[in-house]
Amino acid sequence: MRQWPVMLVVATLAGCGIEEVHSVAAPTQLRSAEHGFSAQVPDGWHVAPESLTPRLTNPVEIFSAGTAPVARPREGACAQVPVDALERVGPRDAFVTVQERFGAARFPDRAARFVLTGRVVHDGATCAGNEAELEEYSIEFRDAGRSFHVLVAIGPSAPAERRDEVLALLDSLRFEPRSTPSPHSGGPMVDCGGGPFPSGWRGRDSVAVGALGLPWVRQHAEQPGTSFDPAAIQLRRLLRDETLTARQRREARAALRAAAPDAHGIAETAVVLAAGHTATLSVPAEFRKQVSLSYTKRSHDRERPPAWGALRVADGDHSVAFRACPDHETHWIGGFVVAGAQCVPLEITVDGQTRRRNLAFGVPRHACPPHGDATQKRFELGLSAVRFPAMPQRTLAALPPAGRRDCASATSPHTSTRPS
């Protein structure tokens, strides 16, 4: 996936966005305690007060700003792209968004100074209506032991000083090493991770057991059964698509070479836990050849780039314990490795109390009653639209809808649970 400065005015970033944004005659110093970074925003730029990609769980958007009026999250064709912000970029505007990637990303070390390289070439369909007209750059780097994607969009008639502002903003970014483990840290226990999860997730599509929530996990039932085929099968199916460009075909072949024969895509699902609580997710013994969990550093380190998001069931964990931060709600980013469409019983223990919930992956919800015993039945539902979840997001941004990963419907949990 590609991603994405002197008046004494400080705007503190908190939660999913920014508490205050000031327009001043000089660059504004911003600092995010939650996301551990600071930046100097050029005069006249607008900082997004909230995540513009709230359905995206990994990477996580930590900062967005541009010269156009402040954008808002909007339902669109691509879950990983701030569509509204891009469509607000006029001929003389610029926009920058930064996302942090958790897991085993092999990104190059940050250069001493940023340069605008990695031009995004649109061979076909785009996420935003005006994207083909924009000058876009995708930059990846590591800094302070963390991995980041940057997406830069510049209008076709932007003056030279606009590019200078972009580069000054990027050069001003300062990242702090994480003092607490990241959302993917640890072994069998993952500690205080990300901050509060975006509100509004409770409902029939989610599972809540005491202090623990699995936002929108029941939407995995809406995925076609073929989404849970081995990654190699999905990629071979994708390569038969005659509408692929030469570039897309090269990328799919590279992922096919890298993916293990028995690897499957990760059905991404966030875990949300109230402050001060502990919880454990466990896969029953009889299902451990078919299903595992991917929330720890150990499992994410076993991804094989460029086949991002594809793991063997054996690469995941059978059980993962979670411990929330003592003073605020905590969420972690990860998911399930599911070998084939099926019902999966999940044992959920919260503060010592264990309950079982049945989850549907690529099968109708009614086939998996929420409570009671789930049968270990594999479902063959026939061919349907393929959403392969292991390829880089920006790489597949131009794929037709049947082949995109995160440019599939933003409500598709197999791309990245709502966040998706």
User: How would you write the pLDDT of the chain (420 residues) with one tens digit per residue?
Assistant: 232 222 222 333 333 333 333 333 468 999 998 888 999 999 999 999 988 987 776 678 999 999 998 888 876 557 778 999 999 999 999 999 999 886 555 688 999 999 998 888 876 667 888 888 999 999 999 999 888 999 999 999 999 999 999 999 999 999 998 644 444 433 456 767 666 777 778 888 899 999 999 999 999 999 999 999 999 999 999 999 988 888 888 889 999 999 999 999 999 999 999 999 999 999 999 999 999 999 888 888 888 888 888 999 999 999 999 988 888 888 888 899 999 999 999 999 998 899 999 999 999 998 888 765 544 443 333 322 223 333 332 222 233 333 323 322 222 233 333 233
What's the whole-model pTM score?
0.57
* Chain mean position to CA 345: 25
Check residue 355 and report its DSSP letter: E
- Give the list of residues 6+ apart from residue 176 with CB closer than 8 angstroms, or none: 36, 37, 144
What crossing angle do the helices spanning 246-258 and 231-239 adopt, rounded to 10°? 160
Distance from first CA to last CA of the chain, Å, rounded? 14
Both tokens assigned to 379: 């479902």
| Cβ atoms 11, 111 nearer than 8 A | no
* Chain mean position to CA 227: 18
CB-neighbour burial class of residue 157 (10 A; exposed 0-12, middle 13-18, buried 19+): exposed
| Cβ atoms 228, 338 nearer than 8 A | yes
